[in-house]
Homo-oligomer: A and B are copies of this chain.
Amino acid sequence: MSEADATQQEYPVLRGLPVDMCIFTVATESRKTPQDNIDKRTLKSYPDKHLELLLVKRISDTEGDKWALPGGFTKIETETIDAAAIRELKEETNLDASVTQLRAKPVGDGIYLEQMKAYYKPGRDDRGPTPTVAYVALVHEALLANLHAGGDAGQARLFRVPENSAHPFVCHTENGTTTVDWSELAFDHAEIISDALKFVQNQILTTTIAADLLPKEFTIAELHQVISAVVPSYGQMTTNFARDLLKTKTRNSMLKEALDEHGELKKSSQYSARPAQLYRFNEEYEPWLSIYPRP
Protein backbone atom coordinates (compact mmCIF):
# COMPACT_ATOMS: atom_id res chain seq x y z
CA MET A 1 0.00 0.00 0.00
CA SER A 2 2.77 2.38 0.90
CA GLU A 3 4.65 1.11 -2.13
CA ALA A 4 1.69 2.02 -4.30
CA ASP A 5 1.52 5.47 -2.77
CA ALA A 6 5.17 6.02 -3.48
CA THR A 7 4.63 5.08 -7.10
CA GLN A 8 1.80 7.54 -7.54
CA GLN A 9 4.23 10.38 -7.91
CA GLU A 10 5.72 8.84 -11.01
CA TYR A 11 2.60 7.55 -12.68
CA PRO A 12 -0.91 7.18 -11.47
CA VAL A 13 -1.94 3.72 -10.36
CA LEU A 14 -5.27 2.11 -10.98
CA ARG A 15 -6.82 0.35 -8.08
CA GLY A 16 -9.43 -1.80 -9.80
CA LEU A 17 -10.99 -1.23 -13.17
CA PRO A 18 -14.77 -0.84 -13.57
CA VAL A 19 -16.56 -2.96 -16.17
CA ASP A 20 -20.00 -2.29 -17.66
CA MET A 21 -21.89 -5.12 -19.28
CA CYS A 22 -24.26 -4.70 -22.25
CA ILE A 23 -26.01 -8.07 -22.18
CA PHE A 24 -28.34 -8.52 -25.13
CA THR A 25 -30.61 -11.36 -26.08
CA VAL A 26 -33.10 -12.01 -28.84
CA ALA A 27 -36.36 -12.83 -27.13
CA THR A 28 -39.14 -14.86 -28.65
CA GLU A 29 -42.64 -13.50 -28.25
CA SER A 30 -44.97 -15.99 -26.61
CA ARG A 31 -46.80 -17.97 -29.28
CA LYS A 32 -50.27 -17.05 -30.34
CA THR A 33 -52.84 -19.05 -28.43
CA PRO A 34 -56.21 -20.38 -29.58
CA GLN A 35 -57.87 -17.88 -27.23
CA ASP A 36 -56.68 -15.19 -29.59
CA ASN A 37 -59.59 -16.36 -31.73
CA ILE A 38 -57.40 -17.06 -34.68
CA ASP A 39 -57.70 -19.85 -37.17
CA LYS A 40 -55.88 -22.74 -35.60
CA ARG A 41 -53.65 -23.01 -38.61
CA THR A 42 -52.24 -19.59 -37.80
CA LEU A 43 -50.76 -21.12 -34.66
CA LYS A 44 -47.84 -22.40 -36.63
CA SER A 45 -46.77 -18.92 -37.66
CA TYR A 46 -43.37 -17.82 -36.47
CA PRO A 47 -43.40 -16.06 -33.11
CA ASP A 48 -41.95 -12.57 -33.34
CA LYS A 49 -38.45 -12.00 -32.13
CA HIS A 50 -36.97 -8.79 -30.77
CA LEU A 51 -33.83 -7.50 -29.13
CA GLU A 52 -33.68 -7.17 -25.34
CA LEU A 53 -31.10 -5.67 -23.00
CA LEU A 54 -30.44 -6.46 -19.36
CA LEU A 55 -30.73 -3.49 -17.02
CA VAL A 56 -30.47 -3.40 -13.24
CA LYS A 57 -32.05 -0.97 -10.84
CA ARG A 58 -29.47 0.66 -8.64
CA ILE A 59 -30.16 0.97 -4.95
CA SER A 60 -29.65 4.43 -3.58
CA ASP A 61 -26.27 5.82 -4.52
CA THR A 62 -25.02 8.94 -6.25
CA GLU A 63 -27.23 8.08 -9.21
CA GLY A 64 -30.33 7.53 -7.09
CA ASP A 65 -32.39 4.50 -8.03
CA LYS A 66 -31.95 4.77 -11.77
CA TRP A 67 -31.83 1.84 -14.16
CA ALA A 68 -28.31 1.12 -15.35
CA LEU A 69 -26.08 -1.39 -17.04
CA PRO A 70 -24.91 -4.14 -14.75
CA GLY A 71 -21.25 -3.93 -13.92
CA GLY A 72 -18.53 -4.31 -11.37
CA PHE A 73 -14.82 -4.07 -10.76
CA THR A 74 -11.88 -6.21 -11.66
CA LYS A 75 -10.43 -7.89 -8.63
CA ILE A 76 -7.16 -6.09 -8.65
CA GLU A 77 -4.03 -8.25 -8.53
CA THR A 78 -5.95 -11.41 -9.46
CA GLU A 79 -8.15 -10.82 -12.50
CA THR A 80 -7.64 -9.77 -16.06
CA ILE A 81 -10.25 -7.42 -17.42
CA ASP A 82 -11.67 -10.21 -19.57
CA ALA A 83 -11.95 -12.47 -16.52
CA ALA A 84 -13.86 -9.75 -14.71
CA ALA A 85 -16.27 -9.43 -17.62
CA ILE A 86 -16.84 -13.19 -17.66
CA ARG A 87 -17.44 -13.21 -13.91
CA GLU A 88 -19.87 -10.31 -14.15
CA LEU A 89 -21.73 -12.02 -16.96
CA LYS A 90 -22.15 -15.11 -14.85
CA GLU A 91 -23.15 -13.17 -11.75
CA GLU A 92 -25.65 -10.91 -13.45
CA THR A 93 -27.35 -13.61 -15.46
CA ASN A 94 -27.03 -16.44 -12.95
CA LEU A 95 -25.57 -18.47 -15.79
CA ASP A 96 -24.34 -21.85 -14.74
CA ALA A 97 -22.77 -22.45 -18.11
CA SER A 98 -19.05 -22.85 -17.93
CA VAL A 99 -17.98 -19.61 -19.53
CA THR A 100 -14.23 -19.53 -19.22
CA GLN A 101 -13.12 -17.35 -22.08
CA LEU A 102 -14.14 -14.56 -24.37
CA ARG A 103 -16.29 -15.58 -27.30
CA ALA A 104 -15.41 -13.02 -29.89
CA LYS A 105 -15.93 -15.84 -32.34
CA PRO A 106 -19.21 -17.65 -32.06
CA VAL A 107 -19.05 -21.15 -30.72
CA GLY A 108 -22.74 -21.71 -31.08
CA ASP A 109 -23.24 -22.58 -27.47
CA GLY A 110 -25.28 -19.55 -26.67
CA ILE A 111 -22.76 -16.99 -25.49
CA TYR A 112 -20.88 -14.31 -27.37
CA LEU A 113 -18.80 -11.90 -25.31
CA GLU A 114 -16.39 -9.24 -26.51
CA GLN A 115 -14.84 -6.04 -25.30
CA MET A 116 -16.35 -3.03 -27.02
CA LYS A 117 -14.75 0.18 -25.80
CA ALA A 118 -13.19 2.01 -22.89
CA TYR A 119 -14.86 5.18 -21.65
CA TYR A 120 -13.30 7.91 -19.63
CA LYS A 121 -14.38 11.40 -18.80
CA PRO A 122 -12.94 13.67 -16.16
CA GLY A 123 -15.12 14.59 -13.23
CA ARG A 124 -16.15 11.50 -11.34
CA ASP A 125 -19.00 13.33 -9.70
CA ASP A 126 -20.79 13.78 -13.00
CA ARG A 127 -21.10 10.17 -13.87
CA GLY A 128 -19.85 7.91 -11.11
CA PRO A 129 -16.72 5.82 -11.20
CA THR A 130 -14.59 6.56 -14.23
CA PRO A 131 -13.19 5.05 -16.40
CA THR A 132 -15.15 2.02 -17.45
CA VAL A 133 -14.61 -0.69 -20.01
CA ALA A 134 -17.80 -1.74 -21.76
CA TYR A 135 -18.31 -5.33 -22.83
CA VAL A 136 -21.02 -6.56 -25.17
CA ALA A 137 -22.60 -9.95 -24.71
CA LEU A 138 -25.17 -11.71 -26.85
CA VAL A 139 -26.73 -14.54 -24.93
CA HIS A 140 -29.30 -17.13 -25.96
CA GLU A 141 -32.59 -16.38 -24.26
CA ALA A 142 -32.78 -19.87 -22.82
CA LEU A 143 -29.72 -19.11 -20.71
CA LEU A 144 -31.34 -16.01 -19.20
CA ALA A 145 -34.22 -17.81 -17.52
CA ASN A 146 -32.86 -17.40 -13.99
CA LEU A 147 -32.00 -13.74 -13.75
CA HIS A 148 -31.12 -12.31 -10.41
CA ALA A 149 -29.63 -8.99 -9.47
CA GLY A 150 -26.01 -9.23 -8.48
CA GLY A 151 -23.85 -7.07 -6.27
CA ASP A 152 -25.10 -3.59 -5.49
CA ALA A 153 -28.19 -3.75 -7.68
CA GLY A 154 -31.80 -4.14 -6.71
CA GLN A 155 -33.55 -5.85 -9.59
CA ALA A 156 -32.41 -7.21 -12.93
CA ARG A 157 -34.79 -7.13 -15.88
CA LEU A 158 -34.73 -7.62 -19.63
CA PHE A 159 -36.00 -4.57 -21.50
CA ARG A 160 -37.08 -4.47 -25.10
CA VAL A 161 -34.67 -2.23 -27.02
CA PRO A 162 -36.54 0.54 -28.88
CA GLU A 163 -35.88 0.98 -32.55
CA ASN A 164 -34.99 4.61 -32.06
CA SER A 165 -34.07 6.84 -29.18
CA ALA A 166 -37.41 8.62 -29.22
CA HIS A 167 -38.94 5.55 -27.61
CA PRO A 168 -38.22 4.06 -24.19
CA PHE A 169 -36.99 0.68 -23.08
CA VAL A 170 -39.99 -1.45 -22.10
CA CYS A 171 -40.33 -4.42 -19.77
CA HIS A 172 -43.59 -6.33 -19.34
CA THR A 173 -44.13 -8.53 -16.30
CA GLU A 174 -47.17 -9.95 -14.56
CA ASN A 175 -47.01 -6.99 -12.21
CA GLY A 176 -47.24 -4.43 -14.96
CA THR A 177 -45.11 -2.58 -17.42
CA THR A 178 -41.92 -0.66 -16.71
CA THR A 179 -40.65 1.90 -19.18
CA VAL A 180 -37.27 3.59 -19.03
CA ASP A 181 -36.44 6.48 -21.28
CA TRP A 182 -32.94 6.86 -22.66
CA SER A 183 -32.56 10.05 -20.65
CA GLU A 184 -33.45 8.25 -17.42
CA LEU A 185 -30.49 5.88 -17.54
CA ALA A 186 -27.73 6.24 -14.95
CA PHE A 187 -24.32 7.81 -15.68
CA ASP A 188 -23.49 7.92 -19.39
CA HIS A 189 -25.07 4.54 -19.96
CA ALA A 190 -27.31 5.89 -22.71
CA GLU A 191 -24.19 6.68 -24.72
CA ILE A 192 -22.68 3.28 -23.99
CA ILE A 193 -25.88 1.46 -24.95
CA SER A 194 -26.17 3.45 -28.14
CA ASP A 195 -22.62 2.46 -29.08
CA ALA A 196 -23.26 -1.14 -28.05
CA LEU A 197 -26.34 -1.34 -30.23
CA LYS A 198 -24.41 -0.21 -33.29
CA PHE A 199 -21.69 -2.66 -32.30
CA VAL A 200 -23.97 -5.72 -32.14
CA GLN A 201 -25.73 -4.72 -35.33
CA ASN A 202 -22.41 -4.55 -37.10
CA GLN A 203 -21.23 -7.79 -35.53
CA ILE A 204 -24.32 -9.80 -36.39
CA LEU A 205 -24.07 -8.72 -40.02
CA THR A 206 -20.33 -9.30 -40.39
CA THR A 207 -19.69 -12.39 -38.26
CA THR A 208 -21.53 -15.61 -37.55
CA ILE A 209 -22.49 -14.72 -33.97
CA ALA A 210 -26.12 -15.32 -34.93
CA ALA A 211 -25.16 -18.92 -34.18
CA ASP A 212 -25.24 -18.07 -30.49
CA LEU A 213 -28.85 -16.93 -30.67
CA LEU A 214 -30.13 -20.02 -32.45
CA PRO A 215 -30.37 -23.70 -31.72
CA LYS A 216 -27.51 -25.75 -33.12
CA GLU A 217 -29.77 -26.57 -36.08
CA PHE A 218 -32.14 -24.01 -37.48
CA THR A 219 -34.06 -23.05 -40.58
CA ILE A 220 -33.16 -20.19 -42.89
CA ALA A 221 -36.31 -18.40 -41.77
CA GLU A 222 -35.21 -18.55 -38.14
CA LEU A 223 -31.79 -17.18 -39.05
CA HIS A 224 -33.40 -14.33 -40.94
CA GLN A 225 -35.65 -13.63 -37.98
CA VAL A 226 -32.69 -13.27 -35.63
CA ILE A 227 -30.93 -10.88 -38.00
CA SER A 228 -34.08 -8.79 -38.32
CA ALA A 229 -34.55 -8.69 -34.55
CA VAL A 230 -31.11 -7.16 -34.11
CA VAL A 231 -31.22 -5.00 -37.25
CA PRO A 232 -34.84 -3.89 -37.63
CA SER A 233 -34.12 -2.23 -40.95
CA TYR A 234 -33.09 -5.56 -42.42
CA GLY A 235 -35.49 -6.57 -45.16
CA GLN A 236 -38.19 -9.20 -45.40
CA MET A 237 -37.37 -12.85 -45.74
CA THR A 238 -37.63 -13.80 -49.39
CA THR A 239 -37.20 -16.95 -51.34
CA ASN A 240 -34.11 -15.42 -52.89
CA PHE A 241 -32.56 -14.71 -49.48
CA ALA A 242 -32.34 -18.42 -48.81
CA ARG A 243 -30.99 -19.22 -52.23
CA ASP A 244 -28.36 -16.47 -52.21
CA LEU A 245 -27.27 -17.60 -48.79
CA LEU A 246 -26.78 -21.17 -49.91
CA LYS A 247 -25.82 -21.03 -53.54
CA THR A 248 -23.32 -18.23 -53.97
CA LYS A 249 -19.71 -19.21 -54.16
CA THR A 250 -18.44 -16.81 -51.50
CA ARG A 251 -21.04 -17.99 -49.00
CA ASN A 252 -21.65 -21.61 -49.86
CA SER A 253 -19.45 -22.84 -47.05
CA MET A 254 -21.22 -20.76 -44.42
CA LEU A 255 -24.08 -23.13 -43.69
CA LYS A 256 -24.20 -26.90 -43.87
CA GLU A 257 -27.32 -28.99 -44.23
CA ALA A 258 -28.16 -30.86 -41.05
CA LEU A 259 -28.20 -34.62 -41.48
CA ASP A 260 -29.69 -37.26 -39.21
CA GLU A 261 -27.94 -40.48 -38.20
CA HIS A 262 -28.86 -42.14 -41.50
CA GLY A 263 -27.36 -39.31 -43.53
CA GLU A 264 -30.83 -38.05 -44.46
CA LEU A 265 -31.62 -34.35 -44.59
CA LYS A 266 -33.14 -33.17 -41.32
CA LYS A 267 -36.23 -31.05 -41.48
CA SER A 268 -38.37 -29.15 -39.01
CA SER A 269 -42.13 -28.65 -38.99
CA GLN A 270 -42.02 -26.55 -35.85
CA TYR A 271 -43.12 -23.36 -37.49
CA SER A 272 -44.41 -24.43 -40.85
CA ALA A 273 -46.81 -26.83 -42.47
CA ARG A 274 -44.30 -27.99 -45.02
CA PRO A 275 -41.16 -29.10 -43.19
CA ALA A 276 -38.19 -26.77 -43.64
CA GLN A 277 -34.60 -27.88 -44.11
CA LEU A 278 -32.42 -27.49 -41.03
CA TYR A 279 -28.93 -26.04 -41.27
CA ARG A 280 -25.99 -25.51 -38.97
CA PHE A 281 -23.14 -23.01 -39.19
CA ASN A 282 -19.90 -24.30 -40.63
CA GLU A 283 -17.22 -23.46 -38.12
CA GLU A 284 -14.54 -23.39 -40.80
CA TYR A 285 -16.23 -20.55 -42.64
CA GLU A 286 -14.16 -17.36 -42.68
CA PRO A 287 -15.98 -14.35 -44.06
CA TRP A 288 -14.25 -12.10 -46.54
CA LEU A 289 -15.22 -8.48 -45.97
CA SER A 290 -13.80 -5.63 -47.97
CA ILE A 291 -14.99 -2.58 -49.82
CA TYR A 292 -12.35 -3.29 -52.48
CA PRO A 293 -12.55 -5.95 -55.17
CA ARG A 294 -11.31 -9.33 -54.07
CA PRO A 295 -7.65 -9.61 -55.05
Copies of this protein in the complex:
2
Known contacts A73-B11, A120-B81; A291 and B287 CB within 8 A of each other: yes
Q: For A18, list chain B residues within 8 Å (CB).
A: 11
Chain A 243-270 against B: per-residue CB contact (8 Å), 1 yes, 0 no? 0110010010010000000000000000
In angstroms, Cα B244 to Cα A287, docked, is 20
The one of B76, B77, B292 in contact with A245, judged by C-beta atoms closer than 8 angstroms, is B292
The one of B123, B129, B131 in contact with A17, judged by C-beta atoms closer than 8 angstroms, is B131
> Which one of A45-53, A139-147, A166-174, A205-213 is at the B interface?
A205-213
Q: For A81, list chain B residues within 8 Å (CB).
A: 118-121, 131
Q: For A133, list chain B residues within 8 Å (CB).
A: 118, 120, 131
In angstroms, Cα B14 to Cα A133, docked, is 13
CB distance from A244 to the nearest CB of B (A): 4
CB distance from A225 to the nearest CB of B (A): 12
Decide if A291 touches B74 in the complex (CB within 8 Å): no
Decide if B8 touches A293 in the complex (CB within 8 Å): no
Q: For A292, list chain B residues within 8 Å (CB).
A: 205, 227, 241, 245
> Which one of A154-162, A175-183, A232-240 is at the B interface?
A232-240
A64 contacts chain B at the CB level, 8 A cutoff = no
Decide if A122 touches B235 in the complex (CB within 8 Å): no
Q: For A234, list chain B residues within 8 Å (CB).
A: 295
Decide if B289 touches A205 in the complex (CB within 8 Å): yes
Number of interface residues of A (CB under 8 A): 55
A15 (CB) vs chain B CBs: closest residue: B12
Decide if A291 touches B206 in the complex (CB within 8 Å): yes
A25 contacts chain B at the CB level, 8 A cutoff = no
Q: For A74, list chain B residues within 8 Å (CB).
A: 120, 122
In angstroms, Cα B294 to Cα A236, docked, is 11
Which of A11, A74, A205 is the most central at the interface, judged by chain B CB atoms within 10 Å of its CB? A11
Q: List the 5 shortest-distance A-B pairs measured between CB atoms, nearest first.
A: A235-B295, A12-B16, A12-B15, A81-B120, A244-B293
